[in-house]
Structure 1
Amino acid sequence: MPSCLRAFVVEDNATLREQLVGALEELTCVQVIGSCGTEDEALAWLATGQPWDLLMVDLFLRQGSGMGLVQRVAPRQAEQRLVVFSNYVNAGVRKRCAQLGVDAVFDKSTEIDALVDYCARRCAQVAATLQPAKA
């Protein structure tokens, strides 16, 4: 397991994507290894088999939908985390995401700090698993 979290960001707003990437890389151990703005681009990247630890998905994309992508990514390795980050979060969206196995859902307008905290906690969890056992 890597010493940082390898993240792929699916966000159609380039400015927001750049800000999010900058914040995560500055404030946490997250290393963004790629990003795109459509469902098809995300599926094509996932099909390459490149290893990842965190997939961050917006629900509304330039093409396709984040929910469609979430449904396709549902079967994944146990240590991989899937996070939804959207302006369109309500109880129904949270429930549907939970049904699809999403690990966390964050509202872009009110929960950016919570997203950064989630990533920082995940970094700490990964780091703890990398510590050698004490004799």
Structure 2
Amino acid sequence: MTISVFLVEDNIQIRTNLIPALEELGSANVIATAESEDEAISWLSHHKGMWDLAVVDFFLKEGTGVGVVRWCDGREPNQRVVVLTNYPTQATRIAFRDAGADRVFDKSTELEAFFQYCLSRHAKCT
């Protein structure tokens, strides 16, 4: 069984590389993507309970990932929200944790930890 992932990332090159990596390394199925805060919130509001893991970037085409994470605050107990960003400053980590993120990962140095997290979520869903 795979985990259902909603990916919020505006960079097409990152999406193109991340989706197959998530499927192969993270035992995940990316069921939808969004490029902006409004697009992400719209999808989430129409698909409550249909995803296991939301992966959110900080800077989006319009808006930020902080608003997306904050919107997910009322999610189901088994759903997780993580941030995958190029801007993992201490202030960024605090802002996302305060908004309700379960974890924050640096795209450039913590990809292995991110995929391990995805695998651990897969193990809990099977």
Same fold judged by TM-score > 0.5?
yes
Name the residue aligned to 2:23: 25
In the alignment, structure 1 residue 88 sits paired with structure 2 residue 95: no
Please give the secondary structure, in 1, of the residue aligned with 2:75: coil
Which amino acid letter does the alignment assign opposite residue 88 of structure 2?
V
Q: Distance in 2 between matches of 1:73 and 1:8?
A: 12
Percent identical residues: 42
Please give the secondary structure, in 1, of the residue aligned with 2:118: helix
Name the residue aligned to 2:107: 108
Deviations 1:87-108 (A, max 9, x none): 1111111122222221110011
Deviation beyond 4 Å, 4+ runs, structure 1: none
Name the residue aligned to 1:4: 2
Q: Distance in 2 between matches of 1:49 and 1:26?
A: 24
Q: Distance in 2 between matches of 1:103 and 1:47?
A: 19
Which amino acid letter does the alignment assign opposite residue 24 of structure 2?
E
Please give the secondary structure, in 2, of the residue aligned with 1:52: coil
Structure possessing the higher radius of gyration over alpha carbons = 1
Name the residue aligned to 1:120: 119
Q: Distance in 1 between matches of 2:66 and 2:115?
A: 22
Q: Distance in 2 between matches of 1:46 and 1:87?
A: 23
Aligned length: 125
Structure 1 residue 49: deviation in Å?
Answer: 2.3
Query: TM-score normalised to the size of structure 2?
Result: 0.93
Name the residue aligned to 1:78: 77
Which amino acid letter does the alignment assign opposite residue 62 of structure 1?
K
Deviations 1:18-65 (A, max 9, x none): 111110101122110011211111111112125111000001001111
Specify every segment of 5 or more residues in structure 1 that has no aligned partner in the other structure, as ranges.
128-135
In the alignment, structure 1 residue 49 sits paired with structure 2 residue 64: no
Which amino acid letter does the alignment assign opposite residue 77 of structure 1?
E
Q: Distance in 2 between matches of 1:24 and 1:69?
A: 20
CA RMSD of aligned residues (A): 1.1
Name the residue aligned to 1:99: 98
